[in-house]
Amino acid sequence: NAGVTQTPKFQVLKTGQSMTLQCAQDMNHNSMYWYRQDPGMGLRLIYYSASEGTTDKGEVPNGYNVSRLNKREFSLRLESAAPSQTSVYFCASTEGLFGDTGELFFGEGSRLTVL
Amino acid sequence: AQSVTQLGSHVSVSEGALVLLRCNYSSSVPPYLFWYVQYPNQGLQLLLKYTTGATLVKGINGFEAEFKKSETSFHLTKPSAHMSDAAEYFCAVSDRNTGFQKLVFGTGTRLLVSP
């Protein structure tokens, strides 16, 4: 089982460029999430999708857009990258609500540098 | 808003010593609480969780945590540290205010284990 797969693993952008981070899960999970991880700040939620066809903002949504393409895939787009978006991005999924199972399954991360 | 506070960004112990990583939550209603571990260059994985029932929760790799409502705490412990325990540990919370749809993470504690 592949679990949660993120692409690309590494990316360097120039300020103002755009890019999309792809995420796919093969566990038939309903809910998917995008987090960013920065030193000393832990993981902060960018956007999430509680079920196919829905998306909601998390703690730090500015500068990002998301698409829940189907049940398996949840992409994160940076329309005009800024140096403040240099971070490690994690996609995660879970079967239902955290009151049910409580376990998030994470991808290996995508390290993005914006120059 | 729900949150968790992890005291100490770094904790150093000797191999064989007690591990104690602290986590306090802020919620008027007891939330669901989780500990996740992150090994270098990997995503996070679930160590243990508290939802309802027994307040002492046992997880993988010999870790356990106790939910103390009176202290709003959920500290993580292990009686005897092993070199392989060196990693970053995150406390996380989910509550009914968000319909248990989201996990909010603390800032993390890096555990260093010396021989």
Contacts of A109 in chain B (CB under 8 A): 41-43
Tell me the mean pLDDT in the region A6-28.
96
Among chain A residues, the shortest Cα distance to B31 is held by: A99
Among chain A residues, the shortest Cα distance to B90 is held by: A42
- The pLDDT value recorded for residue B41 is 84
Summarised one tens digit per residue, pLDDT across range A19-57 is: 999 999 999 998 999 999 998 888 999 999 988 889 999
- Mark which residues 49-88 of A lie under 8 Å from B by CB: 50, 56, 58-59
Summarised one tens digit per residue, pLDDT across range A58-98 is: 999 999 999 998 999 999 999 999 999 999 999 999 887 65
b (16+ CB within 10 A) / e for B6-32:
beeeebebeeeeebebbbbbebeebbb
Contacts of A106 in chain B (CB under 8 A): 43-45
Q: How far is B108 from chain A (nearest CA, A)?
A: 6
Amino acid occupying residue A87: S
**Torsion sign across C-alpha atoms B41, B45, B50, B54:** negative
**Torsion sign across C-alpha atoms B105, A29, B31, B73:** negative
- With CA atoms as reference, report the closest residue to B93 among B51, B34, B9, B45: B34
